[in-house]
Chain A
Amino acid sequence: MSATMTTRPDRNPGADVDELVRPRISRALHTSIITASVLVALAVNALLGDVKWGWVVMLAAPVYLVAIRVAARLIEDRRQATDRTVTAIVTMSFLLVMMPLISVFWTVISEGAARLDGTFLSGTMRLTPEELMSQRDGAAVGGAYHAMMGTLIITGLAAAIAVPLGLFTAIYLVEYGRGKLARAITTMVDVMTGIPSIVAGLFAYALFIIVFGPGSRTGVAGGVALSVLMTPVVVRSAEEMLKLVPNELREASYALGVPKWKTIVKVVLPTAIAGILTGITLAIARVIGETAPLLVAAGLAQDTNYNPFDGRMTSLPVFTYYQYVQPGVPTEAGVQRAWAAALMLVIIVAVLFTLARVLARVLRPKGLQ
């Protein structure tokens, strides 16, 4: 503290023009500090050997951090110096975090685009000997049609279970729930949110070997596993949305003599429908990429299986995993299929997210915030 008091620079050498305005680092100076930091990093890099942009950025960051701190101490004061340092750290953390995330997108798009073709969309992994031979010569064979169908069926089943279950539970919690039962349900929904996905898969497996016999893996088991993961998400989002419906609307309806259930169906739900549909779409986006529970409960098949009650059913994430870890001969072929499937998954998730946004905007009732 005392040190800072003594080293505190003489304020505003330019004068007594305006004592109330403290000297600040100007925008131009700030820009030049940034440029100088990058140049210093570049110079150091060039002196030590080849210029690698990754290292330049890594070096420029601490140089800038020191430079801006010193500049702020000289021109401004200690508090401003701390503030500027924190601003720099926060901004750099943000940029640092963006790097791997951009890298994920970039890699998936650039690697996946190669094989996201007609054969991929229409073919399955049940390859004829001729196809296997041509694959050795580098031909693009094999596809994920069976996996897409599997994902569609399994996710559909999961939604068919989770949406009504979650919606009615939310209605109970918001419109009816008082007392012990409601509190217990709220707690248990929280617990359910935290179930690891693979545990949900093991549960579904353990449940369905009773029905289909030991070692069985079926689409319906996968659907049940995903519904365990999806239900709490639906409950939470629907609950939030129902709570937003103003009580005046309910009271107005009751005052007209409308029974409670009809009030819920005709007044409360339509008012909240935008939010509820958004929540459901996001919940589907969350579970559609789940790999672990389907690996355990639904397994892997090479061909299309439309029957969720009989036999294994491949889904896109499981397909991605197996194409990557067991790529076959040559390795390239499988890995390329894995990336194509990964790209498809990312596209599906992004489309669902955009859809959720559009739904929220289009269906929002007029006059409600």
Chain B
Amino acid sequence: MTLITTQTTSPRRLGDKVFLGLSRGAGIMILIILAGVAAFLAIEGRAGIFGDTEEMSGSDSFLEYVGPLVFGTVYAATIALLFAAPLAVAVALYITHYAPRRLATTLGYVVDLLAAIPSVVFGIWGITVLAPLLTGNVYPWLNDNLDFIPFFSGVLSTSGRSMLTAGLVLAAMILPIITAISREVFMQTPRLHEEASLALGATKWEMIRQAVIPYGRSGIISGAMLGLGRALGETMAVAIILSPSDGYFWSVLTNQNSNTIASNVALEFPEAYGLDVNRLIGTGLVLFAITFIVNAFARRIANAGFSGADG
């Protein structure tokens, strides 16, 4: 490759220069855009974060305003991850190791398609189908029998606009993403590892535990973290389903729930004016920071790569 860099005739050199300039420029543009995202959010958000709270509606300080939102964001995303991660890994295993070969390709396609279903569709499905179903069958039982656990106590929401419904819909949304990533790493398991394990007489599950899981562990974790990142920033499904209140709420079945940052922006932004707009942009900056940390963490795990030996 390095042999070719010297050219003799000038038009050629010009062509190369222009092309290199274009592609390098595009790369630098990406850096500028990203810096721009942080910078513009900071500039417009500053007035909302440090500005005079007298001119804003509601809370006394920005921290007081954003605190419950951060809590709600993390809470909803955690519920989603708790349900989605184990199921997603199981589905990925099913597609790669259990499903008939012919079906596997189609299933992979279906999972990818599901990852692209717009969140607003999941949102209105959640509130019309899932919420009544759970409110009719599952939630009363949880509320009656398990109310000694703080999560399930409180006055049951009759509409199902609760944290658990929102978390479950988020789980359905991030599941395809985690599945897609896990499926990819499971497919990359060296064939020889699998065959060696089977040749020693391992059952399928023993083979998966010995060869597939250790090889794919970092992939599963980074996939789950990416799913968490997606759940943290997911807006419309939560905005449509959750019935928000101001404050911190642990119970997942009631009408009183801490809103998420993204959903709060979606609900408040269209009607907001003045410094309230800046404050919402400020919360956007906080959300950006949270997802940045989670994604950075995911990348570190992913880059650590295959560490099967320690398993």
B15 and A259 form a contact (CB under 8 A): yes
Give me the interface of B with A, judged by CB distance under 8 Å: 1, 3-5, 7, 12-13, 15-16, 18-20, 22-31, 33-34, 36-37, 40-41, 43-44, 86-88, 90-91, 93-95, 98-99, 109-110, 112-114, 116-125, 128-130, 137, 172, 175, 203-206, 208, 226, 229, 232-236, 239-240, 262, 265-266, 269-270, 273, 277, 280-281, 284, 287-288, 291-292, 294-296, 299
Shortest distance from the beta carbon of A210 to any chain B beta carbon, whole Å? 8
Give the docked Cα–Cα distance between A285 and B115 (Å). Answer: 10
25 A/B residue pairs, CB under 8 Å, sorted by A: A54-B137, A93-B91, A104-B117, A111-B128, A164-B26, A165-B29, A168-B23, A169-B26, A171-B26, A176-B23, A181-B24, A188-B30, A192-B30, A193-B295, A196-B291, A203-B36, A207-B40, A231-B33, A264-B19, A292-B235, A292-B265, A320-B120, A338-B124, A353-B109, A353-B113
A289 and B27 form a contact (CB under 8 A): no
Cβ-based interface call for A108 (8 A): yes
Of A35-43, A59-67, A127-135, A341-349, which binds chain B? A341-349
Chain A residues closer than 8 Å to B204, beta-carbon distance: 83, 86-87
CB-based nearest A residue for B20 = A176
Chain A residues closer than 8 Å to B28, beta-carbon distance: 181, 185
B41 and A203 form a contact (CB under 8 A): yes
CB-based nearest B residue for A54 = B137
CB-based nearest A residue for B204 = A83
CB-based nearest A residue for B179 = A97
B287 and A107 form a contact (CB under 8 A): no
Give the docked Cα–Cα distance between A97 and B204 (Å). Answer: 22
Shortest distance from the beta carbon of B271 to any chain A beta carbon, whole Å? 12
The total of Cβ contacts below 8 Å across the A-B interface reads 266
Chain A residues closer than 8 Å to B36, beta-carbon distance: 203, 207
Shortest distance from the beta carbon of B280 to any chain A beta carbon, whole Å? 7
Give the docked Cα–Cα distance between A317 and B117 (Å). Answer: 11
CB-based nearest A residue for B15 = A261
Cβ-based interface call for A145 (8 A): no
Chain A residues closer than 8 Å to B44, beta-carbon distance: 202, 206, 209
Task: With A83-B205, A261-B18 as known contacts, state yes or no: A199 contacts B4, CB within 8 Å.
Answer: no
Cβ-based interface call for A91 (8 A): yes
Shortest distance from the beta carbon of B22 to any chain A beta carbon, whole Å? 5
Give the docked Cα–Cα distance between A196 and B291 (Å). Answer: 7
Shortest distance from the beta carbon of B57 to any chain A beta carbon, whole Å? 17
State how many residues of chain A have any CB contact under 8 Å with chain B.
97
Which of B116, B240, B270, B292 has the most chain A CB atoms inside 10 A of its CB? B116
Chain A residues closer than 8 Å to B113, beta-carbon distance: 349-350, 353
A296 and B19 form a contact (CB under 8 A): no
CB-based nearest B residue for A295 = B266
Cβ-based interface call for A190 (8 A): yes
Chain B residues closer than 8 Å to A288, beta-carbon distance: 118
Partner of B91, one of A97, A190, A353: A97
